[in-house]
Copies of this chain bind each other. A is one copy, B any other.
């Protein structure tokens, strides 16, 4: 497909697709840099090639440690029999959202395409409600008319969950961007779902608080979208997941009913915790319209240290020592291997800040007392050196050096893009096993790949496995998949640690969840959205639909 060739309407293009209008280029250019892109890409770059080599969904076996299921295609799903948008529908939308029911194809374009430019839909209308009541009216109408709806936040998702697949009505939270309350005693923030994460962070930092999550996409992503995808990010090791920090949600259900669970209580044991259903459900069970969230105090002191280890076992023992000696001030424990360092040196001309080692660690501390934090770090480093766990290292306390050290971890994916075509996997594993997958993959592939590199969040057991080749290589891909998923399933790992399933990974769910559980997910979907209008083709596998 050439840059100027039109993309087919009603046919999702999974990759290698080029922009056709300058307006889209302009729209995308204005987005903030997306750190998640440079730290952990989706498998989407590869999934478009898989269809023919896979069996159909119905032939898959039940999940179990040893009895690994056969894969199913991630190819485009069939359009479901929803209604199509008519002139009457547009008139209704324009009536309830005057000037905010967008049909101009140029304006629609950036909402039809995902941030990675890997997936696109062909929606003909983008709705921009400002209030929960408007969202309710929209969904009530769409449910009555059997119109499919694609809820959209900042459209920074990495698995094709945030754009329409066909002609779904796009329901954007962009104009629902009001901060409702902030309680400076409890640190509890309440806001509309369309607030941009970075705006919330700025609002809080002026009040000596921070958001409990931080993402590379913070300049664009919406808090509602963060909650809908159960975003992980850089602070999870320290502040835990959104399942603990989100205290309340307001959600509009598929039929327009408003579910008000927007409380601001740390403790509430009155019945089932319904909000948990919507956290991580990727807009398939309801549209989140407001969020209350518990925010931590802003740390007064931050330090970063870059270390080298001879073996991954030493790296794990360093992690253990670190948890003991840095304890409550540890806020990140990341790693990269020597192959990552080689790519950083070769492609980005980033020099290794320490001597060459098989493994590198980035440790961050955040605390309330700079002197104490530095002393703890010093003691830890002395012990780690004395025990020969680490062989070399350097510490940064000032901002510019902190950024330089972090860039060794954050720019690995950028380096990978210069190495060739990249097959990317975002895997969650028991922490002891995260590097074994890289080692086994190297052995499995022999000399077939150009590079096989591993990096990621040791503290969260989250490996980013990347495999490059000079160009797209279906043979290489067939050697990588389903090997990587089967390997993950044998260790009871997750094939999507933090990005969700969206469109691209929906059919891989059986590698990480037993059939019993997936069937129950289907029951929940049917209970909350019987017509299936909310974000169809996402999260749940095709064989449930």
Contact = CB atoms under 8 A, between A and B. Distances in A.
A277 B509 CA distance: 19
Interface in A514-542: 514, 516-518, 520-521, 523-524, 527, 539-540
Interface string A490-508: 0011111111110001001
A270 B495 contact: yes
Contacts of A260: 514, 516-517
B368 A269 contact: no
A517 B286 CA distance: 13
Given A260-B514, A271-B518, A428 B266 contact: yes
Contacts of A517: 259-261, 271, 274
Interface string A325-345: 111110000000000000000
A459 B266 CA distance: 9
Contacts of A369: 327, 372, 375-376
Given A325-B368, A376-B369, A516-B258, A276 B243 contact: yes
Contacts of A208: 324
Contacts of A326: 368
Contacts of A240: 240, 244-245
A372 B368 contact: no
Interface stretch (A162-170, A179-187, A439-447, A473-481): A179-187
A545 to B, nearest CB: 14
A194 to B, nearest CB: 22
Contacts of A325: 368
A328 B367 CA distance: 7
Interface in A240-282: 240-241, 243-245, 257-261, 263-274, 276-277, 279-281
Instruction: Indicate how many identical chains form the complex.
Output: 2
Interface stretch (A21-29, A122-130, A429-437): A429-437
Interface residues of A, number: 95
A524 B272 contact: yes
Contacts of A505: 270
A430 B186 contact: yes
A491 to B, nearest CB: 10
Contacts of A418: none
A461 B187 CA distance: 12
A259 B520 contact: yes
B524 A185 contact: no
Contacts of A432: 183, 185-186
A313 to B, nearest CB: 10
Nearest to A64: B260
Contacts of A271: 501, 509, 513, 517-518, 521, 539-540
A497 B327 CA distance: 29
Interface stretch (A43-51, A303-311, A315-323, A346-354): A315-323
A428 B248 CA distance: 14
A268 B512 contact: yes
A114 interface: no
A245 B326 CA distance: 20
A299 interface: yes
Interface string A450-462: 0000000001111
A274 B520 contact: yes
Nearest to A375: B372
B367 A327 contact: yes
Given A376-B372, A527-B523, A428 B268 contact: yes
Interface stretch (A31-39, A88-96, A229-237): A229-237
Contact of A187 (B272, B323, B429, B511): B323
Closest 3 CB pairs of A and B: A244-B244, A327-B368, A276-B276
27 contacts: A185-B316, A186-B461, A188-B430, A232-B267, A241-B244, A243-B273, A259-B516, A259-B517, A261-B513, A263-B494, A264-B430, A265-B497, A266-B461, A267-B460, A267-B494, A269-B498, A271-B501, A271-B521, A274-B517, A276-B276, A277-B277, A297-B323, A297-B324, A297-B327, A324-B368, A328-B328, A372-B375
